[in-house]
Amino acid sequence: MLFLVRMDVNIPHDLPAEQAEAIKAREKAYAQQLQREGHWRHLWRVAGEYANYSVFDAASNDELHGLLSQLPLFPFMKIQVTPLAQHPSAIA
């Protein structure tokens, strides 16, 4: 199943810089792992915002929740999920 996911990140300003950088490094490694595994199919930055639109491929809502909740930045995110279905006019 494909899901369109918008993630808005809001790291607290009082979080020590070293801690924030360590979390972001773990986030990058995990995101790249999910991409290599085929779960995180597309990743686009929202220009001018600390946010992204992504397409995830997960077997179920529960699997998607598990993938997202393991993101190191998850505690600092607002996440919106939209399930996707094939459009009848799509040629691909």
Q: What is the pLDDT of residue 64?
A: 98
> Does pLDDT of 92 surpass 80?
no
Q: What is the pLDDT of residue 68?
A: 98
> Does pLDDT of 82 surpass 90?
yes
DSSP notation for 53-92: EEEEE-SSHHHHHHHHHTSTTGGGEEEEEEEE---TT---
Domains, the chain, in order of start with CATH, read: 2-84 (3.30.70.1060)
Question: 27-79, pLDDT tens digit by residue?
Answer: 999 999 999 999 999 999 999 999 999 999 999 999 999 999 999 999 999 99
Q: What is the pLDDT of residue 77?
A: 98
